[in-house]
Amino acid sequence: MTEMVYGAVPTRAGEPVLPKWWRTVDKWSLSCILILFGIGILLGLAASPPLAERNGFAAFHYVQRQAVFGGLALCVMIFVSMLGPIVVRRLAVLGFIAAFIALSMLPFFGTDFGKGAVRWYSLGFASVQPSEFLKPTFVIVAAWLLAASQELGGPPGKTLSFALTVSIVLMLALQPDFGQACLVLFGWGVMYFVAGAPMLLLMIMAGLVVFAGTIAYQNSEHFARRIDGFLSPEVDPTTQLGYATNAIREGGFLGVGVGEGQVKWSLPDAHTDFIIAVAAEEYGLVLVLIIIALYATIVVRSLLRLMRERDPFIRLAGTGLACMFGVQAMINMGVAVRLLPAKGMTLPFVSYGGSSLIAGGIAVGMLLAFTRTRPQGEIGDILRGRLR
């Protein structure tokens, strides 16, 4: 109906799937993802050998695993980006149901691997973190509900999506995983704002988040310990934040040199949560700025392409995915420089981790699918009274 009223961009009849995908996909964002993955392998070569040595593995054991998981993630990303929005939505709903059930069963069958938070299922040969797969699928389901609520006679999508968000946030907070809980809440808040939420309501919600944080600080030793460490004027040099801060300071502008960094021998999570500290120490501020620019390019280009999209579901889902992707990267890097409390969150496509890499591939694949150019006029043409 939209094309009947507003007109459509001519399509190439009988065009094969792969050439059509290459012609319509955002090549800049795709290139940035590939570069980030390459940087992740490069940093893994520096950061993971000490951990492999401590665990009795070959020097590049974790690098090889990252290459395997990363290759699988890239294949999943390309496959998902070739799908249409309706197919993506249907698969995301099924994925969300599975991830939601898996998340709810973590207290009974999950493990904490000695880290104090039950977030994983141990499969023996690997581990799975359900929250990583829940995030992108939740964005799709919430965007679907919010978009449906804008239709005449549509369901109460805003109320349903809010109830869904609260239930997920509570389950994540009980693990405890406050970082992922905040990320899910942020993703929903961004989509709700784009869908036309009043500012007063968003301010009330922000106040409720602060209140919930206060309650968590008073009742969760895990949460309180991280907040106290963040607010402390002095950094204990023997903590992960202390090692990371010193590594960034030592790196300077150009770094101490490839393989010359020392933080990887002290940080147990140098290849995951604090990978940016390894980058800053060995390659300096130059590589850090390149990484930031790559993430910024993906987010900004995606949002600019989504601004031209007519379909409210695609706009909301794409905005949620892009903002969540960018904020996760910002949180990871912010923790390393003490701008934020420790969250235990990976750097997308750079940090080691099977669940985070594959889930990141799914999320970015969805984002690339939503930002592909489509056979329709742009929304700006309608506002200017002009047809394509």
What are 72's two structure tokens?
A: 């699988």
Rounded to whole angstroms, how far apart are CA atoms 315 and 330?
22
Going from the first residue of the chain to its last (388 residues), give the mean pLDDT of each consecutive group of 10, the final group possibly shorter: 40 75 94 96 89 86 92 96 95 96 91 79 84 95 94 87 93 86 92 86 83 82 78 74 85 86 81 89 94 97 93 95 96 88 86 91 97 69 49
34: Cα separation from own chain's centroid: 16
pLDDT value of position 227: 82
CA dihedral 311, 314, 319, 320 (to 10 degrees): 130
| 3-state secondary structure labels for all residues of the chain | CHHHHHCCCCCCCCCCHHHHHHHHCCHHHHHHHHHHHHHHHHHHHHHHHHHHHHCCCCCCHHHHHHHHHHHHHHHHHHHHHCCCHHHHHHHHHHHHHHHHHHHHCHHHHCECCCCCCCCEEECCCCEECHHHHHHHHHHHHHHHHHHHHCCCCCCCHHHHHHHHHHHHHHHHHCCCCHHHHHHHHHHHHHHHHHCCCCHHHHHHHHHHHHHHHHHHHHHCHHHHHHHHHHHCCCCCCCCHHHHHHHHHHHHCCCCCCCCCCCHHHCCCCCCCCCHHHHHHHHHHHHHHHHHHHHHHHHHHHHHHHHCCCCCHHHHHHHHHHHHHHHHHHHHHHHHHCCCCCCCCCCCCCCCCCHHHHHHHHHHHHHHHHHCCCCCCCCHHHHHCCCCC
Gap between the Cα atoms of 275 and 272, Å rounded: 5
Distance CA 165, CA 156 (A): 14
Q: Is 229 within 8 Å of 242 (Cβ atoms)?
A: no
**CA–CA dist 367, 140 (Å, integer):** 10
Q: Looking at residue 379, what is its pLDDT?
A: 52
Here the tokens at position 368 are: 């690339």
Cα separations in angstroms, 172 against 169, 342, 383: 5, 16, 42
**Per-residue pLDDT, 258:** 83
Against a cut of 0.85, is the pTM above it?
yes
Contact 140, 93 (CB under 8 A): yes
Q: What is the pLDDT of residue 384?
A: 54
- The pLDDT of residue 380: 54
Domain positions in the chain are 24-371
- 275 and 40 Cβ atoms separated by less than 8 Å: yes
As a whole number of angstroms, the distance between CA 71 and CA 51 comes to 22
Q: In the numeric block, which tokens belong to residue 115? A: 């880290």
User: Is the omega angle on the peptide bond into residue 198 within 30 degrees of 0, that is, cis?
Assistant: no
- Per the listing, tokens 């996909």 go with 25
Q: Residue 16's pLDDT is what?
A: 85
